[in-house]
């Protein structure tokens, strides 16, 4: 069963949950770089703890904006691209050459694309960070804000019954493998959530819309399956496809036009037993490796989203609640964070799976930007917004 969000559900969620301290020493770090005002701001949870000037890429070699992670750290590093130029306290953001490091700050963008930092700040920051930590680069100034929403995953308590499954059922379902354990291989018994062995490893999650299938190809395929010869499934409504449409319309007691109409498409879908699939995908990485994928639904799929980064704050194993924060990486030009989450619908199974896997500092990116070009081996989900 799919779960959508109502105002009443949000009110109950807010009433039942006691806010966590966003400024807790164990809250996740997050770095926000503003290209407009040439500053980096370091947050622990939603508390600003450090700020410093930067020098980003100059005209023609501008620093890309988007959502990145620290991929590699080296105290001493020399550029592979620019005459072995020194890059002390280097923290790599892309394998194509963008990094944060100590460098000269003239007061304006002057680098080849990297983010130059003051010497003492670069050294201190290097000691605070770990691989996998998010760095969000924005054009305008952005800051994290607390948020509550029923779509944002909540932890499932250790020992909670989560399913009535046999070990064979679990083995057949990759999404459940490793998240629940059957207590009796021969009986269908309720399983209990075990402690998470990867509790110290944040998840990197992303929801993106799927590419819309070609409507004409779908129509041709369904007509062919029902015995109407629509010709090749090529998306071209040619002579054979029009003839098949006319034949179907005649049998369905529709006006015989040979043309594609809404009434025709709806009737073909109904008679063929075809339902449009879920129109978005949730993907999860841990330690730069894919571990989970599931279909989800986006309401109003043709409406723009932008890019939002939601991050879970600190919690302990056994806690039943975690607070979240959000950074609008492209501002709120297409909607507020709450309005964007209102469009996300998760199935009960996906919600359960997320609850069993959730760890402190996990993040969820919701975006209509592509991540494919810059995401690969040894990266988290990289979303470039310009």
Q: Specify whether 45 is located in the same domain as 129.
A: yes
Closest-CA residue to 357 (of 199, 151, 141, 221): 199
Q: Specify whether 266 is located in the same domain as 234.
A: yes
Q: Which of 232, 255, 272 delimits the end of a domain?
A: 272
Q: Specify whether 184 is located in the same domain as 230.
A: no
Give the pLDDT confidence score for residue 163 in this predicted structure.
54
* Residue 223 maps to a domain: yes
Token pair belonging to 208:
């993106």
Q: Which of 115, 145, 175 delimits the end of a domain?
A: 145
Give the pLDDT confidence score for residue 177 in this predicted structure.
44
Q: Specify whether 171 is located in the same domain as 88.
A: no
- CA–CA separation, 177 and 191 (whole Å): 13
Is the sign of the CA dihedral 156, 160, 163, 167 positive or negative? positive
* pLDDT tens digits for range 178-220: 444 333 443 344 566 678 899 999 999 999 999 888 899 999 9
Q: What average pLDDT does the segment 3-17 reach?
A: 38
pLDDT confidence band for 72 (50 / 70 / 90): very high
Verdict on whether the full-model pTM lies above 0.85: no
- CA–CA separation, 170 and 227 (whole Å): 39
pLDDT confidence band for 159 (50 / 70 / 90): low
Q: Specify whether 141 is located in the same domain as 164.
A: no
Give the pLDDT confidence score for residue 202 in this predicted structure.
96
* Residue 206 maps to a domain: no
* Residue 165 maps to a domain: yes
pLDDT confidence band for 167 (50 / 70 / 90): very low
CATH of the domain at 81: 2.40.440.10
Q: Specify whether 70 is located in the same domain as 133.
A: yes
- CA–CA separation, 263 and 227 (whole Å): 20
Give the pLDDT confidence score for residue 213 in this predicted structure.
84
Q: Specify whether 184 is located in the same domain as 127.
A: no
Q: Specify whether 33 is located in the same domain as 89.
A: yes
Query: Nearest 5°: CA angle at 268, between 264 and 274?
Result: 140
Q: How many domains does the chain have?
A: 3
Q: Specify whether 126 is located in the same domain as 163.
A: no
* Residue 360 maps to a domain: no
- 163-167 long-range contacts, CB within 8 A, separation 24+: 163/190, 163/191, 163/352, 164/188, 164/189, 164/190, 164/191, 165/191
- CA–CA separation, 18 and 157 (whole Å): 16
Q: Specify whether 41 is located in the same domain as 73.
A: yes
* Residue 174 maps to a domain: yes
* pLDDT tens digits for range 15-43: 333 333 444 778 999 999 999 999 999 99
Domain around 244? 215-272
- Residue with the larger pLDDT of the pair 376 and 67: 67
Q: Which of 246, 272, 298 delimits the end of a domain?
A: 272
Q: Specify whether 127 is located in the same domain as 42.
A: yes
The percent of residues in the chain predicted with pLDDT above 70, rounded, is 83
Residue 294's alpha-carbon distances to 149, 213, 349, 382, in angstroms, are: 20, 18, 10, 19
Contact 348, 1 (CB under 8 A): yes
- CA–CA separation, 9 and 15 (whole Å): 10
* Residue 259 maps to a domain: yes
Q: Specify whether 69 is located in the same domain as 103.
A: yes
- CA–CA separation, 34 and 211 (whole Å): 31
Span between the terminal Cα atoms of the chain, in Å? 37
**146-160, 206-220, 224-238, 336-350: segment of lowest average pLDDT:** 146-160
Give the pLDDT confidence score for residue 277 in this predicted structure.
77
Could you please report the per-residue DSSP string of 24-67?
A: -TTSPEEEEEETTTTEEEEEETTEEEEEEE-B-B-TTSPPPPEE
Give the pLDDT confidence score for residue 79 in this predicted structure.
75
Contact 76, 88 (CB under 8 A): yes
* Residue 14 maps to a domain: no
* Residue 210 maps to a domain: no
């Amino acid at each position: 069963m799919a779960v959508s969000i109502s105002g009443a559900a949000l009110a109950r969620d807010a009433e039942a949950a006691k806010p966590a301290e966003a400024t807790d020493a164990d809250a996740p770090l997050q770095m926000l770089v503003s290209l407009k005002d040439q500053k980096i701001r370091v947050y622990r949870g939603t508390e600003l703890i450090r700020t410093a000037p930067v020098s980003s890429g100059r005209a023609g070699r501008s620093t890309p904006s988007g959502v990145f992670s620290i991929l590699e750290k080296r105290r001493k590093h020399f550029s592979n691209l620019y005459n072995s130029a020194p890059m002390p306290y280097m923290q790599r953001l892309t394998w194509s050459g963008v990094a944060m490091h100590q460098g000269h700050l003239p007061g304006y963008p002057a680098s080849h694309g990297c983010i130059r930092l003051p010497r003492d700040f670069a050294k201190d920051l290097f000691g605070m960070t770990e691989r996998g930590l998010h760095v969000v680069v924005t054009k305008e100034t952005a800051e994290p804000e607390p948020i509550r929403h029923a779509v944002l995953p909540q932890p499932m308590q250790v020992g909670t019954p989560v399913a009535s499954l046999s070990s064979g059922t679990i083995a057949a379902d990759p999404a459940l493998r490793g998240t629940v354990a059957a207590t009796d291989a021969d009986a269908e018994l309720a399983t209990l959530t075990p402690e998470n062995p990867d509790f110290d490893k944040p998840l990197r999650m992303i929801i993106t819309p799927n590419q819309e299938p070609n409507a004409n190809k779908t129509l041709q395929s369904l007509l062919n399956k029902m015995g109407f010869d629509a010709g090749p499934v090529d998306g071209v409504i040619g002579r054979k496809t029009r003839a098949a449409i006319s034949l179907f319309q005649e049998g369905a007691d529709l006006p015989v036009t040979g043309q594609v109409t809404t009434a025709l498409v709806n009737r073909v879908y109904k008679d063929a037993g075809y339902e449009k699939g879920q129109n978005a995908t949730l993907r999860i990485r841990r330690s730069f490796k894919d571990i989970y994928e599931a279909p989800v639904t986006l309401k109003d799929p043709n409406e723009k989203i932008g890019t939002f980064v939601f991050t879970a704050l600190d919690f302990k194993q056994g806690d039943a609640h975690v607070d979240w924060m959000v950074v609008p990486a492209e501002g709120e030009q297409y909607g507020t964070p709450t309005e964007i989450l209102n469009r996300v619908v998760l199935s009960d199974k996906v919600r359960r799976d997320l609850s069993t896997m959730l760890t402190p500092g996990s993040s969820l990116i919701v975006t209509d930007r592509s991540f494919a070009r810059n995401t690969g081996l040894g990266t988290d989900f990289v979303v470039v917004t310009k």
